[in-house]
Chain A
Amino acid sequence: MPRTLSQQQRHIRQKLLRLYYGASCGHIACSLSCIDIVQAAYSWKAASEEFILSKGHAAGAMYVVLNALGRISDEQLTSFYKDGTKLAAHPSAGTSRDIPFALGSLGHGLPIATGIAYGKNHVGLADRTFVLMSDGETNEGTTWEAAHFAVRNSLSGLFVIIDKNGLQGFGRTSDVLGDTADPAVWRAMGFRVIEGDGHNEAFLKSFMDETRPDADGRPTVLIANTVKGCGVPYMEDKLEWHYLPMNKELFDDAMTYLEESGHAE
């Protein structure tokens, strides 16, 4: 039974599909799995707080959200994937204030975010620093290096968000290395663990807007349960839609579905 999406969720997905169809490129389903988190992050975090998209292959989700919020121009968005663009398939360094870092090689965002959290903590800033990782990405050894560092240094300003869709590059996470995004593992390391629905707008708003750094000094991890390809039935929970571009028929089908599923609300 497909979930019911709000008008905002359907519209941002249509924007994403237009972007990817226009560029004839893949990384659609992994963007759909985290797009609600990205939307909530940029909508509700404070301006001084960093949000780092460590799963850089979902750059499209970030670009359309920033465009919807008026922080990337239509003209710039149109340049996506084209020669001479700042909006490459993975985020480039210094694209804008919202996109300061080059990301896309997995396992880089968490150490950088950890360093930012350390730097801000050092000068007494109460800012939170958010980093969005994929569950497959938590295979990377830097996850465990930086996570232990954050706990040891009581970096309560560090907020890790794991987009847990259960699929990674070439298999199910449970079949590849097992569940490296297991809440029990993160809890055992010393994180404050919050679990929730990574497509529930109200929950994500409350997490971004209201969750303050842990009073006990623990860094926080949100394990966001998601569906890869969420909102496009033929992509949902399908590994191949990590990679495939849409043809016209599939694009029209997805756009129509998103349009008509709103009528049932």
Chain B
Amino acid sequence: MRNEFCAAIANVMSESTTTFFLTGDLGFNALEGIQQLAGSRFINAGVAEQSMIGIAAGIASCGNDAFVYSIAPFATFRCIEQIRIDVCIHDLPVYIVGNGGGYGYGIMGATHHAIEDIGCMSTLYNMTCWIPAFADDVRYCIDSMRAERKPAYLRLGMGRPRPAASVCGPASPVTLASDPKVTVVTLGPIIANVLDALERVGSDVPADVFSVIRIPLDEADIARIAASVEASGRLIVVEEHVARGGLSEYLIARLHDMGLDGFRCSRLCAAGYPNKLYGSQRYHQAQSGLDADRIAAALRRTQ
């Protein structure tokens, strides 16, 4: 999604003279074009994520908005207090961009993974998390963040093109079955594995699939998911994030708040590093049971 992100940002920086872009010394082979066109509105803040957030907040307090870019763990965990106070408490339009959410940086190792980021960021006051799933979600997310002019976190990953007949939205229904036996709700790009799994199970398991790309969700989005769960009686949540603090806890709590219970539920989440070994993103997904085969097995168990 980095290409889509860079294209969208180049557009924004050209259109708006009050938008700034800060990077924590990252962006080789990606941000050079933005650097060229934005002049002094492009800032390499150095390997200094904490002050980068504070500087972005100061810039935003002058009536601007600011994107702040780094690898997901460095853009979030490293500077969470600065995000909490300098950005969120002041409700400033600072948009934190974390590249390589989940196990996205694969063999780079655990230091470069972000599998607890949504748990951290979604609890912050005034914060909205955006987790684009498909390539064209990126521009939708950026447009939405800028329209809201509030603190936001954008978690970028690897997104494939959107399937035909679905549209961008906070909790977009990607496929809907006439008589669903299961409702699958995904967080971000892991939906690619879910769609692969659905191909494997074919028509044996009629499923509704919702692609969640925003936390929190509004009432209407939750109600649509709730109606599906009520019809299917079975919910599977799939996310490349630890179970604690992720989409599954959030969604189940919201459904429960609506009075919906009595449905069966499975949560497929990031397991961390169960064998203490490291590899590609696909390796870690498989270790967590997030690969297409394991998701297909979970779907078959719904029968």
A residues contacting B by CB (< 8 A) are 93-94, 100-102, 105, 107-108, 110-120, 122-123, 141-142, 145-146, 148-149
In the complex with contacts A105-B81, A120-B62, A115-B46 CB distance below 8 A:
no
Q: Which of A116, A119, A149 contacts B48 (CB 8 A)?
A: A149
Q: For the complex, give the distance between the alpha carbons of A146 and B59 in Å.
A: 13
**Pairs A-B, 5 closest by C-beta atoms:** A115-B58, A111-B54, A119-B62, A145-B51, A145-B48
Which B residues lie within 8 Å of A115 (CB)? Answer: 54-62
Contact B89 A93 (CB under 8 A): yes
> Main SS of the interface on chain B?
helix
Q: How far is the CB of A115 from chain B (nearest CB, A)?
A: 2
CA distance A111 to B68 in the complex (A): 14
List A contacts of B86 (CB < 8 A).
101, 108, 111-112
B23: Cβ under 8 A from any A Cβ: no
Complex contact A116–B54 (CB within 8 A) = no
- B40 (CB) vs chain A CBs: closest residue: A122
Q: Chain B residues with Cβ under 8 A from A145's Cβ?
A: 45-46, 48, 50-52
In whole Å, how far is A250's beta carbon from the nearest beta carbon of chain B? 34
User: What is the chain B residue whose CB lies nearest that of A116?
Assistant: B58
Residues of B contacting A118 in the complex (Cβ-Cβ under 8 angstroms): 43, 55, 58-59
* A147: nearest chain-B partner, CB-CB: B51
Besides A116-B58, A116-B59, A118-B58, 4 new A-B residue pairs in contact (Cβ under 8 A), listed by A number: A101-B61, A105-B85, A111-B57, A119-B58
Q: Considering the chains assembled together, what is the distance between the CA atoms of A167 and B81 in angstroms?
A: 25
18 of the cross-chain contacts (CB-CB < 8 Å) are: A102-B90, A105-B81, A107-B50, A110-B54, A111-B51, A111-B53, A111-B54, A111-B82, A111-B86, A112-B58, A115-B58, A115-B59, A116-B61, A119-B61, A119-B64, A145-B46, A145-B52, A149-B48
- B residues apposed to A, CB below 8 Å: 40-41, 43, 45-46, 48, 50-64, 81-82, 85-86, 89-91
Determine the chain B residues whose CB is within 8 A of the CB of A113 once the complex forms.
Answer: 58
A-B pair number, CB within 8 angstroms: 93
> Whole-angstrom distance between the alpha carbons of A148 and B85 in the complex?
22
Which of A94, A114, A142 touches B90 (beta carbons < 8 Å)? A94
Separation in Å of the A100 CB from the closest CB of chain B?
A: 7
Cα-based distance from A108 to B83 in the complex (angstroms): 11
Closest-by-CB residue of A relative to B55 is A115
With A93-B90, A102-B85, A148-B46: A112-B61 Cβ-Cβ less than 8 Å? yes
A102 to B54, CA, bound (A): 12
Q: How far is the CA of A148 from the CA of B53 in the complex (A)?
A: 15
The complex places the Cα of A149 from the Cα of B22 at a distance, in Å, of 12
Q: Check if B41 sits within 8 Å of A108, measured CB to CB.
A: no
**Cβ of B54 and Cβ of A142 under 8 Å apart?**
yes
Q: A115 vs B89: C-alpha distance in the bound complex, in angstroms?
A: 17
Distance (whole angstroms) from the CB of A167 to the closest CB of chain B: 24
Cα of A111 to Cα of B82 in the assembled complex, Å: 10
- Return the chain A residue nearest B45 by Cβ: A149
* Closest-CB distance, B75 to chain A (whole angstroms): 15
Q: How far is the CB of B48 from chain A (nearest CB, A)?
A: 4
Q: Given A94-B90, A122-B41 in contact, is the A149-B58 Cβ separation under 8 Å? A: no
Contact between chains at B89 and A116 (CB < 8 Å): no
Query: Residues of A contacting B58 with CB < 8 Å?
Result: 111-119
Question: In the complex, A75 Cα to B223 Cα: how many Å?
Answer: 47
B55→A114 contact, CB < 8 A: yes
A114 to B50, CA, bound (A): 13
Q: Which residues of B contact A149 (CB under 8 A)?
A: 45-46, 48, 51, 55
